[in-house]
């Protein structure tokens, strides 16, 4: 990995950066010959270099083999969603039968470390830029700390122990290092996020919308502390988000997933910020992966019937914002399909064989559902996917519910009622009292549905013996009970093996390249 080299796509104009992202069809994304090159000897000269260099860190999160899509395949191990499509490694991971040689196991690793490498360079050289606006210098350092922490947090959640590559490694050219303990990785993440929280502003103007703020750092600290069972620390930092009007819940749940409503949304703490603003970064691929194939998507993720049934009867706002069901249509979606004889066996389309429709047909989905949150179309009516739709990675409601959980686990049922009810009332639901962990688990499942959170929640609750994860994965994933699905089993009962399945194996290619310095996770 060329950690001292800043390739041309992170120092050129933003338009050049936008077309230079490495897409997932490239099997060896880091083994590319740069067409132009800057080094540490002729870069980091001025404020413009710093701004472009930081944009280069952000640009990694758009990559489909990283944040843009592949991470969501790990959440398909949960009970909420079943994976579809033409990638067998995705399906093996869902079935808890993963092995170290599969492409998806490998491909997440180099993109995460590329994000870390770019952040390391920024943290080394931004302090050395001789003349620049000091507020921009400080903010840029905070962004680099946050984005490095985020990559390490995700890596450790997926693989457990991972190598820590930091500034000293870059300066010494020492990149082949052994894995660090989970506690050591968490300590690095904590330190970086605390630095970020001290350096980042609370808010930005419209031109800088999409940059990370103090609220994003506080929110990620809350998630980190809950992962480590540090409940009081989670309350301390989560409460900073809950009490700050700059990070208030959006007045409508749907604003979080509606193009044009996201740009000024205080609830979105961190997102893949497609489209507008001076950041002007490229489009994320998530809308492609979550949209039905006949509607220009690739249709990889299908919610299960068990998940659809988790919504309370009155929870129509969140359910409709989350799920596309057979018979539904999407605003500005103009692709028309013909209702087949098979489709017409569904009560929704009975007697309509041969007619055109823009509604979701049974033949478009294996379960009867799609995730709605990432499917949107251009308002001009041309039927094009709206790639201006942002991809939320951290929302205030997640933090509210983590604070509620920490309070419940420290002080018992009822201690988190205020935070739970703030989220429920925003969804138009009645308040609850004396809520314990079952209510909290339910609330996180439906509030954060499809946002790549469920599986990590299940893992930490299982580790703490709040739940038995095998009671969840041992239930087959099933489709809608309606015709023509008839409750078909999509994924049979699975078995979770402790401690093996808490983490994905280290990619075999990484172990081989390290010549034994990096060792495999237990039981693989």
Mean pLDDT in residue range 477-483: 95
pLDDT of the residue at 42: 79
Q: If we measure between CA atoms, which residue out of 53, 47, 48 comes closest to residue 130? A: 47
Tell the residue number behind the tokens 């390490």, with chain if given.
152
pLDDT at 34: 46
In angstroms, the CA 182 to CA 259 distance is 38
d(CA 291, CA 494): 27
| Beta carbons within 8 Å of 21's beta carbon, 6+ residues apart | 9, 59, 62, 63, 282
Q: What is the pLDDT of residues 363-406, one digit of tens each?
A: 999 999 999 999 999 988 888 898 889 999 999 999 999 999 99
- For 277, counting Cβ atoms within 10 Å of its Cβ (0-12 exposed, 13-18 middle, 19+ buried), the class is middle
Unique residue bearing structure tokens 């979701």? 360
pLDDT tens per residue, range 404-425: 999 999 999 999 999 999 999 9
17-33 residue pLDDT tens? 332 333 333 333 334 34
Report whether pLDDT(12) > 70: no
Give mean pLDDT, residues 143-158.
98
Predicted pLDDT at 36:
55
pLDDT bracket for residue 152 (50, 70, 90) = very high
Confidence band, pLDDT 50/70/90 cuts, at residue 8:
very low
- Of residues 251 and 387, the one with the higher pLDDT is 251
pLDDT at position 39 is 72
Q: Which of 81-95, 229-243, 278-292 has the highest mean pLDDT?
A: 229-243
| 299-331: pLDDT as tens digits | 999 999 999 999 999 999 999 999 999 999 999
Domain map (residue ranges) of the chain: 5-200+505-514
Average per-residue pLDDT for the chain: 90
227 pLDDT more than 70 = yes
294 upstream amide cis, omega within 30 of 0: no
pLDDT at 381: 83
Q: What angle do CA 90, 91, 94 make, to 5 degrees?
A: 90
Q: Which residue has the higher pLDDT, 141 or 523?
A: 141
pLDDT for the residue 37: 67
Say if residue 9's pLDDT is above 50: no
Q: How would residue 111 be classed by pLDDT, with cut points 50, 70 and 90?
A: very high
The predicted pLDDT at position 101 comes to 94
Say if residue 266's pLDDT is above 50: yes
Kindly write down the DSSP assignment for every residue of 11-29, as one continuous string. Answer: TS-HHHHHT-PPPTT-SST
Q: Which two tokens stand for residue 118?
A: 């770019």
Q: What is the pLDDT of residue 68?
A: 86
* pLDDT score of 64: 87
pLDDT-based confidence at 41, cuts 50/70/90?
A: low
Evaluate if residue 1 carries a pLDDT over 60: no
Specify the pLDDT at position 23. 30
Q: What is the CATH number of domain 5-200+505-514?
A: 1.25.40.390
Residue 179 has φ and ψ, to the nearest 5°, of: -65, 145
Query: With 80 as the cut, is the pLDDT of residue 447 above it?
Result: yes
The rounded percent of the chain whose pLDDT value lies above 70 is 91
């Amino acid at each position: 990995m060329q950690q001292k080299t800043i390739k041309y796509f992170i120092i050129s104009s933003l338009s050049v950066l936008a077309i230079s992202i490495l897409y997932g069809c490239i099997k060896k994304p880091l083994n590319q010959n740069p067409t132009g090159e800057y080094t540490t000897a002729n870069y980091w000269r001025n404020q413009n270099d710093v701004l472009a260099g930081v944009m280069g860190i952000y640009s990694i999160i758009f990559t489909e083999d990283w944040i843009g899509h592949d991470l969501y395949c790990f959440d398909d191990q949960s009970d909420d969603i079943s994976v579809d499509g033409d990638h067998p490694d995705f399906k093996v991971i869902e079935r808890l039968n993963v092995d170290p040689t599969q492409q998806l196991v490998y491909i997440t690793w180099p993109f995460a470390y590329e994000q870390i490498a770019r952040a390391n360079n920024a943290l080394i050289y931004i302090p050395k830029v001789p003349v620049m606006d000091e507020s921009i210098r400080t903010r840029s350092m905070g962004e680099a700390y946050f984005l490095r922490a985020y990559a390490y947090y995700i890596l450790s959640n997926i693989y457990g122990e991972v190598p820590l590559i930091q500034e000293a490694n870059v300066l010494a050219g020492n990149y082949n290092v052994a894995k660090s303990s989970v506690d050591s990785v968490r300590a690095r993440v904590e330190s970086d996020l605390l630095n970020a929280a001290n350096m980042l502003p609370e808010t930005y103007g419209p031109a800088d919308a999409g940059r990370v703020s103090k609220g994003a750092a506080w929110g990620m600290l809350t998630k980190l502390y809950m992962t480590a069972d540090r409940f009081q620390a989670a309350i301390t930092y989560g409460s900073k988000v809950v009490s700050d009007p700059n990070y208030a819940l959006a007045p409508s749940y749907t604003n979080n997933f509606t193009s044009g409503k996201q740009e000024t949304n205080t609830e979105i703490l961190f997102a893949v910020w497609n489209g507008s603003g001076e950041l002007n970064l490229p489009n994320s691929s998530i809308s492609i992966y979550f949209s039905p194939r006949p509607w220009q998507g690739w249709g990889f993720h299908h919610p299960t019937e068990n998940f659809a049934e988790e919504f309370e009867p009155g929870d129509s706002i969140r359910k409709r914002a989350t799920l596309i069901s057979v018979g539904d249509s999407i605003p500005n979606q103009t692709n028309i399909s013909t209702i087949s004889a098979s489709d017409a066996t569904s009560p929704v389309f009975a007697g309509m064989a041969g007619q055109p429709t823009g509604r979701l047909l049974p033949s478009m989905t294996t379960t009867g559902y799609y995730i709605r949150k990432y499917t949107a179309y251009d308002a001009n009516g041309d039927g094009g996917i709206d790639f201006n739709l942002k991809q939320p990675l951290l929302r205030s409601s997640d933090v509210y519910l983590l604070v509620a959980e920490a309070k419940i686990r420290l002080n018992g049922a009822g201690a988190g009622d205020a935070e739970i009810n703030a989220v429920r009332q925003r969804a138009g639901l009645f308040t609850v009292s004396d809520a314990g962990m079952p209510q909290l688990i339910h609330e996180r499942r439906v509030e954060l549905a499809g946002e790549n959170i469920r599986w990590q929640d299940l893992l930490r609750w299982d580790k703490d013996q709040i739940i038995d994860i095998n009671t969840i994965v041992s239930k087959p994933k099933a489709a809608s009970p309606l015709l023509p699905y008839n409750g078909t089993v999509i994924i049979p009962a699975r078995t979770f093996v402790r401690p093996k399945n808490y983490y994905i194996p280290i990619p075999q290619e990484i172990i081989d390249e390290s010549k034994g310095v990096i060792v495999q996770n237990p039981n693989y």
